Amino acid sequence: MSIVDAFIKTIAVFDALKDEKIIEDYALIGGLALSAWVRPRTTRDVDLAVIISKQLKWPDLISIMETRFHKRISIHKATPRATIKEKFSFISGHFQVDIIGTGDFNLAAEAIKNAVVAEVFDKKIKVATPEYLILLKLLPLSNQDTLDINMLAKKADMGIVRNLAQKHFLLPKLESVQSIRSKK
């Protein structure tokens, strides 16, 4: 199964969950989201941020994914200091799908609420804006994230990025990436 097939199959699952009001909303984040804004790059996974319905808990969503969709779930344990507290993964075809919850993760919830509908692989889906993608990529800040941030910065309103970074206590990380970019 190609990344396109895995993506389309995954989106169908999350559209169904939204239609059933199991989740309130979701948006594409990560490497695939970049393809809506800048030149696509290869990626090995599909990353989604989700807001679950208020009457459900994170373990309920995991249980639904395991039982109804027959997905073998890998639950990521968060450390007390971790920004992302709710995360699980499953395999779709040959690709990993990472699901990030918004519980205690206001940045992800804002990214979903401010996401825009874009076309990815000929499928319309909510995608985090360049500004929010930059902030989300500041969290792990791998070498690839730094490259992605530099590409997204050409499309983003950097004034908005700075304001959001300050709001979410990410301004020092943002400035460190900007200094890396200015040294090149």
Report d(CA 37, CA 99) in Å as an integer. 21
CATH, residue 43: 3.30.460
What is the predicted pLDDT for the residue at 179? 62
* Domain match, 90 and 3 both: yes
Distances (CA, A) of 94 to 15, 17, 43: 21, 22, 12
* Domain match, 75 and 163 both: no
| E strand residue ranges, the chain | 23-29, 45-52, 74-75, 87-92, 95-101, 116-120, 123-127
* Domain match, 76 and 27 both: yes
The mean pLDDT value of the chain amounts to 92
* Domain match, 115 and 139 both: no
In this predicted structure, the answer to whether residue 184 has a pLDDT above a threshold of 70 is: no
In this predicted structure, the answer to whether residue 149 has a pLDDT above a threshold of 70 is: yes
In this predicted structure, the answer to whether residue 118 has a pLDDT above a threshold of 70 is: yes
Q: What is the value of pTM for the model shown?
A: 0.92
Report d(CA 130, CA 147) in Å as an integer. 13
Neighbours of 32 (CB within 10 A): 21
Report the range of poorest mean pLDDT among 54-68, 82-96, 157-171: 82-96
**Main-chain phi, psi angles of 49, to 5 degrees:** -105, 135
* Domain match, 108 and 147 both: no
Q: How many domains does the chain have?
A: 2
In this predicted structure, the answer to whether residue 181 has a pLDDT above a threshold of 60 is: no
| pLDDT tens per residue across span 101-114 | 999 999 999 999 99
Question: DSSP string covering 43-57, please?
Answer: -SEEEEEEEE-TT--
Report the range of poorest mean pLDDT among 28-42, 129-143, 145-159, 163-177: 28-42
* Domain match, 95 and 179 both: no
What is the predicted pLDDT for the residue at 5? 87
| pLDDT tens per residue across span 1-57 | 788 888 999 999 999 999 999 999 999 999 899 989 998 788 878 999 999 999 999
